[in-house]
Structure 1
Amino acid sequence: MRFPVFTFTQAFGFFLGLVFLTGASGHSWIDLLTVVGGTSSTAMTTINHQGFIRNYKGHIDATASYRLLDLNQPVCADFQQVVNQIGMPEYPQLNASAGDFVQGTYTENGHISLPASPTAKSGMTYWFGTTNPNGKATLKDILAWKDGNSSEGALLSTAPFDDGVCVEVNPSEISKERVAANGGVPPGPCKSTFKIPETVAPDSVYTVYWVWDFSGKLGNDAPDHVEWYTSCMDIKIIGKPSTNNVSSPNSQSAKVPKIKGREPKL
């Protein structure tokens, strides 16, 4: 029996078509943190402006993604339970100052461009922060901070998972449209931003949780579906420079930076 022989182009095209028909199956997590405004980026040049989530080992689903199907599950994956946990030397934690704006990036992995259902929703993302991380905290515990009345931690910002610009390159119409709108160049990963509270003390560690509600994954086909993802990270808070070098609170650099796409709600 003879089997057909496919060229690489034909095989790759078949693969893309299969992905397009079956929907996205990958996951999302925070790949990179960058200080994009505030004290550090405008007045200090010796700090590390970029950093990573706990135990980061590269863009690898198995070592970075954490899915929660129950709000009573721990908010951090078992491989992200330790504060200040560094996965590899080349992926350090972020250094930043109180008052800085930090931007996190993540890939959409088809959740925007290749939804599992025509009525699927890519959901909302939330940034939470605390100076007193609890290793036993559940997702339900962290979500309770949304009302602003908790002494344990705070909601820092909220934004749609879809920032209105990001997309993966694939045969979908939304991918073609967004690449075309960006001059034919892939627009890159999704972005959302949060502000480190001004009250966080220098020489301390500020723990941040990125929480994504993807419960609308199946749309009207499963309205009661529960599915969340989280990334846990720690930021080393460095001291602020002298007031002679700090931009005025009313200056543009002290405001939330403009990002192309939807603005986060701080």
Structure 2
Amino acid sequence: MTLLAGIGLLLCSLNLVNCHTWIEQLSLVDQDGQPVGDPGFIRGYVPRTTPGFVDGDNTYLLPQAPALTFQDSDLMCKLTQTQGNQSGGSVLMAPQGSSVLLRYLENGHITQPDVPPNKPTSGQVSVYATTQARDDDKFTAIHGQWTADKTGGDQRGLLLTSTPFDDGRCFQFDPTGHSEIATTRSNTFGPGPSITEAPNRWCGTTIELNDESGIPFANGTLLTLYWVWDWPSIVPGNPGTPPAILNETYTSCMEVEII
């Protein structure tokens, strides 16, 4: 890790900057679930080492301001994450039937559960797959619509998994020692297996590259993945009134080539 990238991650861990989350890498995994081989990257990926880097280079927040609710016009992907834009890194190459780990930093969303307030959990991750991606794919037509059996929505894609953002092992290193979660996980699991992660341990969402029937996608398939992280705020209401749910959702868009 370069000094510049290390400083950025340290600032996130100290909560001095507003750090959010995107898919850092896609990796094949070995029989123990550890990342192996050359990683792949999301469309339009901007490395943290890029001069002037800010997390907004990679994050895509929905609803889009000034809207407070999702709009039918909301795109699934950030405008810089259109098909074929691999300017910051290559597509992951995966043998047929592979397991793939989508890896991301928790950036304090797990280890600092009270920052910001009104976030009862670190949220939920959904991953969708399609071989018929469009640059104008709409968020509301896919998220919560595509199903594991591929019968939902317009049936162009399917839900591969829905799982907690917290994989139970990941953490952002806390040099202050104030985060009990970070300290416990650091002592229990240690930093991640790659030098890129240290002193942190990245989170991961594992997916199987199988279709709705459980059959591996064929060799030569270019499979598009949509990673969606829902992280709503639950704001208490006045006595006798229900809390307000304020949506905060992030997406990352990427491809895997089956070889």
Alignment TM-score, normalising by the size of structure 2: 0.72
Flag the structure with higher helix content.
1
RMSD: 3.0
Runs of 4+ in 1 over 4 A off after TM superposition: 183-187, 218-222
Q: Which residue does 2:27 correspond to in 1?
A: 34
Matched residues in 2 for 1:169 and 1:92: separation?
Answer: 28
Instruction: Give the aligned residue type for 2:125.
Output: T
Partner SS for 1:174: helix
Q: Which residue does 1:243 correspond to in 2?
A: none
- Which one of the candidate residues 205, 219, 224 is aligned to 1:202? 219
Is residue 2:60 matched to residue 1:66? Answer: yes
Contact 1:49 1:96 in 2 (8 A): no
Q: Which residue does 2:158 correspond to in 1?
A: 154
Flag the structure with higher strand content.
2
Change in Cα spacing, 1:200 to 1:113, as seen in structure 2 (3 Å) is same
Contact 1:26 1:109 in 2 (8 A): yes
Deviations 1:2-32 (A, max 9, x none): xxxxxxxxxx9xx97x956x8x721100000
Contact 1:120 1:219 in 2 (8 A): no
How many equivalent residue pairs? 211
Q: Which residue does 1:169 correspond to in 2?
A: 173
Q: Which residue does 1:253 correspond to in 2?
A: none
Matched residues in 2 for 1:193 and 1:219: separation?
Answer: 31
Q: Which residue does 1:75 correspond to in 2?
A: 76
Matched residues in 2 for 1:183 and 1:54: separation?
Answer: 30
Contact 2:190 2:201 in 1 (8 A): no
Change in Cα spacing, 1:220 to 1:163, as seen in structure 2 (3 Å) is farther
Contact 1:98 1:201 in 2 (8 A): yes
Unmatched runs of 5 consecutive residues or more in structure 1: 1-11, 239-266
Unmatched runs of 5 consecutive residues or more in structure 2: 1-6, 64-69, 192-197, 238-242
Matched residues in 1 for 2:184 and 2:235: separation?
Answer: 23
Matched residues in 2 for 1:131 and 1:119: separation?
Answer: 35
Alignment TM-score, normalising by the size of structure 1: 0.70
Q: Which residue does 1:179 correspond to in 2?
A: 186
| Range 56-65 or range 207-216, more displaced | 56-65
Following TM superposition, by how much is the alpha carbon of 1:146 offset from its aligned partner in structure 2, in angstroms?
2.9
Deviations 1:61-118 (A, max 9, x none): 122111111253101000002x221113xx2110113321100110011111223126
User: How high is the sequence identity, in percent, across the aligned residues?
Assistant: 30
Aligned residue runs from structure 1 range 106-255, under 5 A: 106-114=104-112, 115-117=115-117, 120-143=120-143, 144-146=145-147, 148=149, 149-150=151-152, 151-170=155-174, 171-182=178-189, 186=199, 188-197=201-210, 198-216=215-233, 218=234, 220=236, 223-238=244-259
Q: Which residue does 1:8 correspond to in 2?
A: none
Following TM superposition, by how much is the alpha carbon of 1:204 offset from its aligned partner in structure 2, in angstroms?
2.7
Change in Cα spacing, 1:173 to 1:132, as seen in structure 2 (3 Å) is same
Max Rg structure: 1
Is residue 2:51 matched to residue 1:53? Answer: no
Deviations 1:95-146 (A, max 9, x none): 1133211001100111112231265311110110000002211111112103
Contact 2:25 2:103 in 1 (8 A): yes
Matched residues in 1 for 2:186 and 2:118: separation?
Answer: 21
Following TM superposition, by how much is the alpha carbon of 1:174 offset from its aligned partner in structure 2, in angstroms?
1.6
